[in-house]
């Protein structure tokens, strides 16, 4: 594959011509730059390579989202981007099988939260369908609000197989297929975490988000949630917030949108890749702290000290829940404040002290900070309620 081949494919794609011209040129240049690097490039390396051609503000604000948004690139476990082979992108997607999936989990992002149920429906190019559903033992307690939402109970999950036993069947279902989900980013992050944890790699399949497709092909539908879209299009649910039922509903939505794509003349995987949807870089790839180490953090009150590679203290703070606090830094669901993001990137190790109460932990943290040369103040973490630190140690 040559750069000119892929660039020519983009130039001739009516689908990609919908992009703002500046963004199209940035995407085209980034793809061409990555393509000439056999080992791939990290996002910051792409930005450096384009620094003389595009404004710094455009690179900082738009390049990461462009790399994540379209299916022209694949993110590797070493955080490097590789281009999808042009011959693959030229394939007519109508001839490819589709695996429509959904997962239920203990909450938000891994590794703090894990999959509890996986459901999928594989549709062959012949139209033949195969469904599968499995509960998954997450190896941690099930939050009460998840029980209320799904109806699943802890005892059901305790007797369910772990993801290690579920993954082989999922891999067979994914073989050669386009991966389809509704609002794909969250579910795919959970699947990619398990694939990374068990196999050291990300899921390589082409990805399509039915939210992105619906917004583009059915703009009259105002709400993008699965239930709202299904109601608009007359798709029935047998049960909400269960993986297989949601996957089946998403599959019926895909079949409707599939016809819309044919009507609009979208034929190749290249054109379909426009509808991958925004898939952010998983936090478990960015963190210098292993997922296994974070998984061992206790959930009680205590003090945590973050250190750089030279052992220097970067940050001292306390929390009523150490596990939630550190996952909130290294696997944040929302954008971290700049100062805390710098600390996260520099952290090479951490030390924990468990305490009986949050008050005692706060006092101990204040005492530790008072002994430090620079006396770093605790950084504010968005969404966390701060406690006043006592003047004296308890």
Domain end, chosen from 56, 71, 87, is at: 87
Same domain, 31 and 7: yes
Same domain, 203 and 339: no
Same domain, 66 and 139: no
Q: pLDDT tens digits for the chain (394 residues)?
A: 445 588 888 998 989 988 999 999 999 999 999 988 889 999 999 999 999 999 999 998 899 889 989 999 998 888 899 999 999 999 999 999 999 999 999 988 787 789 999 999 999 999 999 999 999 999 989 999 999 999 999 999 999 999 999 999 999 999 999 999 999 988 999 999 999 888 888 899 999 999 999 999 999 999 999 999 999 999 988 788 899 999 999 999 999 999 999 998 999 999 999 998 877 777 667 667 776 787 788 989 999 999 988 889 999 999 999 988 888 888 766 667 777 777 877 888 899 999 999 999 999 999 999 988 764 555 555 444 444 444 443 3
Domain extent, residue 307, equals 287-370
Cα 120–chain centre separation: 19
Which residues are bridge partners to 101 per DSSP? 120
Domain end, chosen from 19, 54, 87, is at: 87
Same domain, 69 and 10: yes
Provide the CATH number for the domain around residue 241. 3.30.420.10
Question: What counts of helices (H) and strands (E) characterise the chain?
Answer: 18, 10
Number of domains composing the chain: 3
The phi, psi pair for 209, rounded to 5°, reads -105, 125
In sign, the C-alpha dihedral spanning 275, 278, 280, 282 is negative
Identify the burial level of 144 via C-beta atoms within 10 angstroms of its C-beta, where 0-12 means exposed, 13-18 middle and 19 or more buried.
exposed
Q: What is the pTM of this model?
A: 0.79
In sign, the C-alpha dihedral spanning 105, 106, 110, 116 is negative
Report the distance separating Cα 273 and Cα 260, nearest Å. 15
- Contact residues for 288 (Cβ-Cβ < 8 A; gap 6+): 345, 347, 348
Furthest-apart CA pair in the chain: how many Å?
73
The phi, psi pair for 98, rounded to 5°, reads -125, 135
């Amino acid at each position: 594959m040559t750069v000119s081949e892929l660039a020519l494919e983009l130039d001739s794609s009516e689908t990609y011509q919908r992009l703002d011209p500046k963004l199209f040129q940035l995407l085209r240049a980034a793809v061409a730059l990555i393509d000439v690097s056999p080992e791939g490039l990290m996002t910051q390396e792409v930005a450096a390579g384009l620094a003389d051609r595009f404004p710094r503000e455009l690179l900082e604000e738009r390049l990461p989202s462009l790399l994540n948004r379209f299916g022209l690139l694949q993110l590797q476990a070493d955080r490097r981007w590789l281009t999808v082979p042009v011959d693959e992108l030229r394939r007519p997607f109508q001839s490819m099988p589709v695996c429509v999936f959904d997962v239920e989990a203990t909450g938000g992002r891994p590794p703090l939260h894990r999959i509890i149920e996986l459901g999928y429906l594989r549709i062959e190019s012949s139209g033949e369908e195969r469904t599968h559903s499995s509960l998954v033992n997450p190896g941690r307690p099930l939050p009460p609000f998840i029980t209320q939402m799904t109806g699943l109970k802890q005892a059901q999950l305790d007797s369910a197989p772990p993801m290690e036993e579920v993954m082989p069947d999922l891999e067979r279902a994914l073989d050669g297929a386009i991966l389809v989900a509704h609002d794909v980013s969250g579910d795919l992050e959970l699947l990619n975490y398990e694939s990374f944890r068990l196999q050291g790699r990300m899921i390589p399949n082409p990805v399509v988000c039915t939210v992105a497709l619906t917004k583009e092909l059915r703009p009259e539908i105002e709400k993008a949630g699965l239930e709202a879209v299904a109601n608009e299009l007359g798709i029935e649910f047998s049960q909400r917030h269960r993986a297989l039922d949601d996957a089946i509903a998403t599959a019926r939505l895909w079949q409707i949108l599939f016809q819309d794509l044919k009507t609009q003349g979208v034929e190749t995987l290249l054109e379909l890749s426009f509808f991958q949807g925004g898939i952010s870089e998983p936090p478990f790839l960015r963190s210098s702290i292993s997922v296994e180490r974070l998984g061992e953090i206790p959930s009680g009150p205590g003090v945590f000290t973050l250190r750089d590679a030279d052992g220097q203290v970067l940050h001292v703070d306390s929390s009523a829940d150490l596990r939630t606090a550190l996952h909130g830094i290294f696997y944040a669901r929302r954008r971290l404040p700049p100062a805390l993001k710098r600390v996260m990137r520099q952290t090479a190790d951490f030390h924990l002290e468990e305490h009986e109460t949050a008050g005692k932990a706060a006092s101990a943290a204040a005492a530790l900070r008072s002994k430090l040369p620079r006396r770093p103040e605790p950084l504010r973490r968005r969404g966390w309620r701060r406690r006043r630190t006592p003047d004296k140690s308890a």
